[in-house]
Structures are given as C-alpha cells and as structure tokens.
Amino acid sequence: MDCIFCKIIDGEIPAVKVLDEELVIAFMDINPSSKGHMLVVPKRHAENIFEIPESDLAATIKAVKICAKAVKEVLNAEGITVLQLNGKASDQIVPHFHIHIIPRWENDGLPVSTWEMKKGDMKEIQEIARKVKEYIPSGS
Ligand code: AMP
Ligand code: ZN
C-alpha cells in the first residue's frame, strides 16, 4: 500500500519520532503550523475515525495526552489545539488516521479554530440532534 505514514512506521522513510509504543507512534510534522506541531499515529493502517478499531483509537488518544503534556512543558505553550480530520471535505490530506498536536500561544494568529460564530437556527439544531440521538444505538 502506498501510504506515507505506513512507510514511516515501517522505517522505509525517516521521521523525527518522539514516541514509539506497541500500537502508536508520534513524530514531528514536517510542515509545522506552529513550533512543536506533531502527529500521533496508530501503527495499524486505518483511513479515518470510521475505520479505526476502538483499541487503536484508545491507545492513540492516550498517547496524545502524553505528547501534549510533554510539548506544553518543553515549549511553555499556553494552549494546545488537538485536531483530527476525516475526508477530503475536512481537508484530510494523508489517508492514515492521525491526530495533530499544535502548541498555541495567546494571539499567535493561527487560523486553526477561529471559525466564524454565528447564531444558529434552533429548530434546525434540535431537529438534527433528534435524528442523531435516534441513530445512536441505545447503550452507547
Ligand atoms: P492532514 O491529513 O490534513 O490532517 O495533514 C497531514 C499532515 O501530515 C500535514 O500537516 C503534513 O505536513 C504532515 N506530513 C505529511 N508527510 C509527512 C512526513 N513525511 N513527515 C511528517 N509529517 C508529514
Ligand atoms: Zn497507512
């Protein structure tokens, strides 16, 4: 399979690793949005949140917490954005599940998470919530 993150996991191409566990690795993003930007990646290939097994997801988010804490301390970050994209429409570029850790500082001007907030249509909001609740299996 021609997956760049699988190649990093297999050691075929280099990466600046910060964590290497049984199920998960983390390495620095080579196009950092901010100083310390890194990616946490399950070793088993899964394209997105819909495909990743729960056990890999749990291991990945656990590693995110460890890495976020470490980079926050090391760089004295004032905040950390944790970001995960699914599908082209969401701007996912690499089709191997990964979670971004992006250190933040007050007024750093990063466009991440500064989307416009506008008042929603409460009828529509409630209708969507009703359908979603109906779809979610009971006991979840
Ligand atoms: P996205 O799929 O949009 O969530 O983002 C993919 C991320 O992977 C981007 O931030 C890229 O800079 C990063 N990236 C792509 N190739 C590499 C690589 N070989 N080593 C480290 N980071 C990479
Ligand atoms: Zn892969």
pLDDT given at position 115? 80
Which pTM value belongs to this model? 0.96
CB under 8 Å to 13, separation ≥6 — which residues?
A: 4, 7
pLDDT given at position 106? 95
pLDDT at position 103 over 90:
yes
For the chain, give every domain's residue range: 4-135
pLDDT given at position 131? 97
Say if ligand 1 is within 6 A of residue 89 CB. no
Domain 4-135: give its CATH code.
Answer: 3.30.428.10
Q: Which ligand is located closest to the Cα atom of residue 41? A: 2
Of 8-12, 51-55, 101-105, 115-119, give the lowest mean pLDDT range: 115-119
pLDDT at position 113 over 80:
no
CA 94 to ligand 1 center in whole angstroms: 6
Sort 60 into a burial class: Cβ within 10 Å, 0-12 / 13-18 / 19+.
Answer: buried
- Which DSSP state fits 107? T
pLDDT given at position 34? 96
